[in-house]
Amino acid sequence: MRAFPIEDGSSLVHLHNLSGGVLGGDQLSLKVEIAPRAQAQLTATSATRLYRSRGEPVTATQLTEVRVAEGGRLEFLAEPLIPFAGSRFRQQTRIELGPGAGLFWWETVAPGREAKGELFEYELFQSQLDIFAGSNPLALERIRLEPHLRPLSSLARLGVYRYFSNFYICRVGLEAKSWQNLESELGAIAQELSRPGESLWGVSTLSAHGLIVRALCVKGREIPPGLLAFWKAAKLALYGQEARPPRKIY
């Protein structure tokens, strides 16, 4: 879709999958390049549905490469991933940030088609996310979920919670003290939003240039307003700008 201008000077771009979801055996790729001092928001019009294979089980794959050049900024505001019963999905994402580059990147994973009673009936969900500033790794995340082999209701995994979300906030070049201050500010929001047994939120600084917000929730509807609260606070602190939810088109 064509880009839509946003009041803060950035552009909004919608990602579309014309098949309505990710089919078994799909091999998808996405390459994003943000030019120097350019700013962009990326989102989708709806949740990403991960369908199971017909016949012999095969794994769908998604490869994403992102480069944000010097002084650029990317806000990747994804809708939830919904793994259907029997689905197999593997994604690999690499993000490279140049000097002064900024990043807001969140992802939420649902337990399945909850309204249909499908809870953790998928075969495989695997995710690899690498974020670099130059040659320095800021975050290396590895997730492999196989509910039929290792039940996610275990206290060592999700316990009573069904949805999980990760939100990376980065801006290359800020001193450590700035991130410590922002961690304290967002930590207060996390404490206010958390209700043990219903939702848990936490905030932690990365090795440098950023921090991560994590969430576990029983109900998926609690995640979007929480992410919005952190995004608004962080964008105001880092850029002095108001965060505006992306315009949706259907």
Distance of CA 20 to the CA centre of its chain: 20
Joined together, the tokens standing for residue 249 give: 């088109």
According to DSSP, the β-strands at 73-77 and 199-205 are unpaired
CB of 241 closer than 8 Å to CB of 6? no
Q: Are 94 and 66 in contact (CB under 8 A)?
A: yes
Output the six-digit token pair for 219: 């109900």
Question: In terms of pTM, does the model score above 0.85?
Answer: yes
Check if the beta carbon of residue 131 is closer than 8 Å to that of residue 103: yes
Collapsing DSSP to helix, strand or coil, 14 comes out as: strand
Structure tokens at 27: 């091999």
Per-residue pLDDT of the chain (250 residues; tens, 9 = 90+): 778 898 888 999 998 887 779 999 999 999 999 999 999 999 988 899 999 988 788 999 999 999 999 999 999 999 999 999 999 999 999 999 999 999 999 999 999 999 888 999 999 999 999 999 999 999 999 999 999 999 999 988 999 999 999 999 999 999 999 999 999 999 999 999 999 999 999 999 999 999 999 999 999 999 999 999 999 999 999 999 999 888 764 4
- Report which residue type is found at 182: L
